[in-house]
Chain A
Amino acid sequence: MSYHNPHTPPRKSATFDDYTLAEIRRAAATGIYDIRGAGAKRKVPHFDDLLFLGASISRYPLEGYRERCDTSVTLGTRFAKKPIELKIPITIAGMSFGALSGPAKEALGRGATIAGTSTTTGDGGMTNEERGHSEKLVYQYLPSRYGMNPTDLRRADAIEVVVGQGAKPGGGGMLLGQKISDRVAEMRTLPKGIDQRSACRHPDWTGPDDLEIKILELREITNWEKPIYIKVGGARPYYDTALAVKAGADCVVLDGMQGGTAATQDVFIENVGMPTLACVRPAVQALQDLGMHREVQLIVSGGIRSGADVAKALALGADAVAIGTAALVALGDNDPHLEAEYQKLGTTAGAYDDWHEGRDPAGITTQDPVLAARVDPVAAGRRLANYLKVMTLEAQTIARACGHNRLANLEPEDLCALTMEAAAMAKVPLAGTDWYPGKAGF
């Protein structure tokens, strides 16, 4: 009887997995880093790792539908003569005309308006379609200042000074030439077809002491009417929130690393910034330390998908949330019925993230008129409104179950954490205990 050496099956490295190997080959072949949209894809601790406690005997729940649970929120109450009143605490995040097609921007405006909330321009100026179809429109003030002008500034309902984004805190942007159509080029004063590079700092101020003066200028130009938001990427949320408040902001928009529809280097998206979950409590702490919690409103974004996420963000201390990726999906992005076309692009529905390349089969992240015509702004707007309504109902369901007659009354004590990581980041107790990592007394 002969002895055969036992066969060891081939084993792939956990470190050099297939995705990593493919990326090394891609980099070696092309000589350029990977650029994509869609925010961080790696798994990070998120709102999924928190649960609500509900009510039974120690607290009394409210009756669904019949007993009122208020969802309204007013943004910009600190200095602005005309704060923004929203029916729901879910807003549409800034995404540019240029990044998105005209019909997609219109659909966002329509959907947000039906739902009683605001939408936001992006790095590329304000279009008439967007203004006309958005009852409440926030005008972004970005480093590039593309399309910036005093007329649009005055016809906006609020001004959002963008200092950073969750996908790339500290980074600038790049819109590849394929998406610089005639109209986009004209709005941005750029030659058609070239790559548009965006600066990482504002051209005419650096730091909170200068920002305070910039805010003064914007307020003087707009007669102190418009709320001024400051948007920061989730990087150093305690200090950034505190400094935005000190510089005179009415609202702080805090975007975690799962946020971001715009094109960024993959290495940046996946390796810079903090999970949204980890950003909220430090920001709220900063507001509380300054005696400004609820005086300066906090809008949290980055990976908000459901009414549960909304309720959790609010319970941790946010006043409202913003959605970007989820809104695009509601409009029809990455829809399985387009699978054949996604396959032609070498991807699959649900994984498509080359939103900067302008070939989106759904017609949303493109400037190709044929593709863009696939978006029916009325129907897509309706879908977005439905989705916003569902999220609101879900958040109300949870708030009522915790005994609250307002979403804004949700509090950290309504939550417990499933994991040690989430307990530490959200500073809520691990389920079944009264302890979280970092809490004194153990």
Chain B
Amino acid sequence: MCGIVGLFLKDKALEPRLGELLSDMLITMTDRGPDSAGIAIYGAGAPGKVKITAQSADPENEFKGLVAELELAGVAADVTLKSTHAVIEIAEDAVADTRAFLARKGLRVMGAGESVEIYKEVGLPKDVVARFDIRAMGGTHGIGHTRMATESAVTTLGAHPFSTGADQCLVHNGSLSNHNNLRRVLVKQGMKFETQNDSEVAAAYLTSEMAGGKDLGQALTSALDDLDGFFTFVVGTKDGFGVVRDPIACKPAVMAETDQYIAFGSEYRALVNLPGIETARVWEPEPATVYFWDHGKAA
């Protein structure tokens, strides 16, 4: 149970302000989810490079000398440290080696991709935003989440967004009722899970569907048939941004669109600081309806 926000920029002039705008949206949703918070920012990536966001409970020790250790493991990396997270930029072909290295070292992978960086931690949204200096970040689109845990643990890994594929991530408000069965099916297909969280199953489901050739919009359409329970999802891909609510659509959702952006909030409060919100088109996404925007196609 949670607050979720999302912002997809159409106007490049706003891109330097993405982190700042999303941070304000996220902090406004603190009441809906005081346990943990997370944010995924899609920024400009270098072609042929992949960014892996790793997390440590003991960053002072575990992140010390990370670049040198990676080099010993045969990976040339640029590492940016932010509190408990390290963004490790590497060549595309070094992903497997880097993941193996991180696993050996016991570091947790929050997400990976050409453009996404994912930051999440236990604690109040304002503290999470501050420790990762999210306000200073620019980007094209992003999603965020404040969590009130329902049936799984309050941990960093249990925080949203969940990322189960390259540049993919998902935030969820609601409660799925068939996630245990679906997880077993996905495990048989070879998907790996880090948590007992229902939302991670939803993320992995979409990853699996997209791996089968569907685009995000098609995967979200299938989700309406295959996922049982209550959900409002906001999902991000490298270029795309999607929203879907279950057919009963109890969990709240508000969207706003102007020439500059498309914004999502669990409540209107999350949108009140956005530029030009007074004249934006504001609406509630319909139940069982997939909303999907794509930078590639929009251009």
- Chain A residues, Cβ within 8 Å of B31: 209, 212-213
Which of chain A's residues has its CB closest to B252's CB? A210
A200-227 residues with Cβ-Cβ distance < 8 A to B are 201, 206-210, 212-213
In-complex Cβ contact of B174 among A207, A213, A239, A242 (8 A): A207
- Chain A residues, Cβ within 8 Å of B266: 209
Tell me if A59 counts as interface (CB < 8 A to partner B): no
Tell me if B173 counts as interface (CB < 8 A to partner A): yes
Minimum Cβ distance to chain A for residue B231 (Å) = 11
Tell me if A236 counts as interface (CB < 8 A to partner B): yes
Minimum Cβ distance to chain B for residue A360 (Å) = 38
Minimum Cβ distance to chain A for residue B71 (Å) = 43
- Chain A residues, Cβ within 8 Å of B19: none
Residues A207 and B251 in contact, CB atoms below 8 Å apart: yes
- Chain A residues, Cβ within 8 Å of B34: 246
Given A206-B251, A207-B175, A239 and B32 touching (CB < 8 A)? Answer: no
Tell me if B3 counts as interface (CB < 8 A to partner A): yes
Q: Max chain B CB contacts within 10 Å: which of A201, A206, A243?
A: A206
Q: How far is the CA of A201 from the CA of B250 in the complex (A)?
A: 10
Tell me if B151 counts as interface (CB < 8 A to partner A): yes
Minimum Cβ distance to chain B for residue A370 (Å) = 45
Given A207-B230, A243-B150, A246-B148, A212 and B251 touching (CB < 8 A)? Answer: no
Q: How far is the CA of A207 from the CA of B148 in the complex (A)?
A: 10
A-B contact count (CB 8 A): 38
B1-27 residues with Cβ-Cβ distance < 8 A to A are 1-3
Minimum Cβ distance to chain B for residue A212 (Å) = 6
Minimum Cβ distance to chain A for residue B152 (Å) = 9
Residues B151 and A209 in contact, CB atoms below 8 Å apart: no
Q: Max chain B CB contacts within 10 Å: which of A207, A209, A236, A239?
A: A209
Residues B252 and A239 in contact, CB atoms below 8 Å apart: no
Tell me if B125 counts as interface (CB < 8 A to partner A): no
In-complex Cβ contact of B150 among A210, A212, A239 (8 A): A239
Minimum Cβ distance to chain B for residue A281 (Å) = 18
A171-210 residues with Cβ-Cβ distance < 8 A to B are 201, 206-210
Minimum Cβ distance to chain B for residue A166 (Å) = 20
The size class of the interface chain A forms with chain B is: 10 to 19
Minimum Cβ distance to chain B for residue A252 (Å) = 16
- Chain A residues, Cβ within 8 Å of B35: 246
- Chain B residues, Cβ within 8 Å of A206: 230, 250-251
Q: How far is the CA of A210 from the CA of B266 in the complex (A)?
A: 10
Query: Interface on chain B toward A: helix, strand, loop, or mixed SS?
Result: loop
Contact with B along A239-273 (1 / 0, CB 8 A): 10011001000000000000000000000000000
Given A236-B151, A243-B1, A243-B150, A209 and B32 touching (CB < 8 A)? Answer: yes
B222-271 residues with Cβ-Cβ distance < 8 A to A are 230, 250-252, 266
- Chain B residues, Cβ within 8 Å of A242: 149
Q: How far is the CA of A418 from the CA of B31 in the complex (A)?
A: 45
- Chain A residues, Cβ within 8 Å of B149: 242
Residues B148 and A208 in contact, CB atoms below 8 Å apart: yes
Residues A208 and B150 in contact, CB atoms below 8 Å apart: yes
Tell me if B161 counts as interface (CB < 8 A to partner A): no
Tell me if B113 counts as interface (CB < 8 A to partner A): no
Tell me if B33 counts as interface (CB < 8 A to partner A): yes
- Chain A residues, Cβ within 8 Å of B252: 210
Which of chain B's residues has its CB closest to A239's CB? B151
Residues B230 and A209 in contact, CB atoms below 8 Å apart: no
Minimum Cβ distance to chain A for residue B162 (Å) = 18
B254-295 residues with Cβ-Cβ distance < 8 A to A are 266
Residues B1 and A207 in contact, CB atoms below 8 Å apart: yes
Q: How far is the CA of A243 from the CA of B147 in the complex (A)?
A: 12
Contact with A along B167-180 (1 / 0, CB 8 A): 00000011100000
Minimum Cβ distance to chain A for residue B287 (Å) = 13
Which of chain B's residues has its CB closest to A248's CB? B31
In-complex Cβ contact of A208 among B1, B230, B250 (8 A): B1
Residues B3 and A209 in contact, CB atoms below 8 Å apart: yes
- Chain A residues, Cβ within 8 Å of B3: 209
- Chain B residues, Cβ within 8 Å of A201: 250
Q: How far is the CA of A212 from the CA of B252 in the complex (A)?
A: 14
A-B contact pairs, 5 of them (CB 8 A): A208-B150, A209-B3, A209-B173, A242-B149, A246-B148
Closest 4 pairs (CB-CB, A-B): A206-B250, A209-B32, A209-B1, A207-B1
Q: Residues of B at under 8 Å CB distance from A? A: 1-3, 31-35, 148-151, 173-175, 230, 250-252, 266
List 5 additional A-B contacts (Cβ < 8 Å) besides A206-B250, A207-B1, A208-B1: A207-B230, A209-B31, A209-B32, A212-B32, A246-B148
